[in-house]
Amino acid sequence: MLLKDKVAVITGGASGMGKAEALAFAEKGAKVVIADINYEGAQKVVNEIIVNGGSALALHVNMTNSAKINDMVQVILSELGQIDILVNNAGVFDKYKTSLETSEEDWDFIFNINLKSIFLLSNSVLPGMISRGNGTIINISSVAGLVAGKGGAAYTASKHGLIGYTKHLASVYASQGIKVNAICPGTIVTPLTKDILDNIPVDNIPARRFGQQEEVAELAVFLASDQAKFMNGTAIPIDGGFTIQ
Ligand SMILES: NC(=O)c1ccc[n+]([C@@H]2O[C@H](COP(=O)([O-])OP(=O)(O)OC[C@H]3O[C@@H](n4cnc5c(N)ncnc54)[C@H](O)[C@@H]3O)[C@@H](O)[C@H]2O)c1
């Protein structure tokens, strides 16, 4: 199995792409930890993994709280020994608010979850990975991290920032055995997009369809595995061709 006995932490794994990633990682043999503000949802995914013969643990964490993030990492290290894979997936959308429509509170809300929490959690997890000379981080950015028009001001800026942070981590820590890549999904059918899908023209997408969360999960499995050993600092679109136009 591709991820046999690897300990994989997935933030926002209670729903959407994070849920699909949790199920796919467990199917490939990983011991999955789901960290989510929605504990009930995370526990449901954990139950599904256990029923299917996998190993999983749910933790209730608000990713904007640095003390809670550090506590979570300590709990995982004491329960499971190490963290091999970190998927920074939890994120929130800004409903296409332009800069002038975005309040300071809106900006901080989006940035705290979509970018600052990833910096905090990565800093908490990296020392263990570096001391073992091995670890992989996957950051779920977006096509909004590559082009304008797929989110509002704060979402677009936070997802561009996440790609910059991904490149920074890869450039500094690759020599110490750390692999850091970003995935840039186009429009994917998940609870986050369910209210806006009707207003997104499928004609703008060369593949003429939206993506499925399982397709993103398959890319995450590949990036987490040794098959992607020489990939570092990339930002990979998975968007039915949206960003080639
Ligand atoms: N759905 C899309 O079309 C799409 C496209 C590109 C990128 N993305 C990105 O993919 C990621 C997952 O999106 P999704 O569509 O699966 O969304 P979703 O809303 O289905 O899932 C997001 C999960 O994150 C959790 N979460 C939110 N805030 C949190 C916090 N403060 N602490 C802990 N957990 C928190 C939620 O409880 C939820 O389980 C996000 O980063 C999103 O920006 C989504």
| DSSP three-state, residue 46 | helix
In this predicted structure, what is the pLDDT of residue 226?
97
Three-state SS for 211? strand
Angle subtended by helix axes 39-51 and 16-27, to nearest 10: 30
Ligand 1 neighbour 15 (Cβ under 6 A): yes
12 lines ligand 1 (CB under 6 A): yes
In the chain, the amino acid numbered 98 is T
Residue 75 structure tokens:
């709990």
User: Which candidate in 39, 96, 155, 173 is catalytic?
Assistant: 155
Q: Residue 119: how many CB atoms within 10 A of its CB?
A: 16
Under a CB-based contact definition with an 8 Å cutoff, are residues 152 and 95 in contact? Answer: yes
> Which residue type occupies 54?
G
Q: Which pLDDT belongs to residue 40?
A: 98
- Residue 78: per-residue pLDDT: 97
* 161-203 pLDDT, tens digit each: 999 999 999 999 999 999 999 999 999 999 999 888 988 999 9
| pLDDT tens for each residue of 109-120 | 999 999 999 999
Q: What is the pLDDT of residue 194?
A: 87
pLDDT value, residue 4: 97
> What element of type H or E holds 181?
strand 178-185
- The CA 131 to ligand 1 mean position distance, Å, reads 30
C-beta 62 within 6 A of ligand 1: yes
CA distances from 107 to 69, 110, 114 (A): 21, 5, 10
Tell me which residue of 96, 101, 7, 102 sits closest to 54, measured CA to CA: 7
Task: Compute the distance from residue 190 Cα to the ligand 1 centre, in Å.
Answer: 9
Q: Which residue has 């040794």 as its token pair? A: 226
Exposed, middle or buried, 74 (CB in 10 Å: 0-12/13-18/19+)?
A: exposed
Rounded distance between C-alpha atoms, residue 226 and residue 245, angstroms? 32
Q: Kindly give the distance from the C-alpha atom of residue 87 to the centroid of ligand 1, in angstroms, as a whole number.
A: 12
Closest to 11 measured CA to CA, from 186, 169, 140, 185: 140
Q: Whose CA is nearest to atom 36 of ligand 1?
A: 12
- Tell whether ligand 1 has an atom less than 6 A from the beta carbon of residue 90: yes
Going by DSSP bridges, is the β-strand pair 55-60/235-238 parallel, antiparallel, or unpaired?
unpaired
- Per-residue pLDDT tens over the stretch 10-44: 999 999 999 999 999 999 999 999 999 999 999 99
Amino acid, res. 136? T
Q: Which atom in ligand 1 lies closest to the alpha carbon of residue 88?
A: 41
Token digits of residue 182: 């970003």
Task: Establish whether 96 is a catalytic residue.
Answer: no
Q: What domains can you pick out in the chain, each with its CATH number? A: 7-244 (3.40.50.720)
What pLDDT, on a 0 to 100 scale, did the predictor assign at position 88? 98
The pLDDT tens digits of the residues spanning 46-98 come to 999 999 999 999 999 999 999 999 999 999 999 999 999 999 999 999 999 99
Q: What is the per-residue pLDDT across 89-110, written as a single tens digit (0 to 9) for each?
A: 999 999 999 999 999 999 999 9
Closest CA to 25 of 228, 222, 226, 237: 222
Cβ of 26 below 6 Å from ligand 1: no
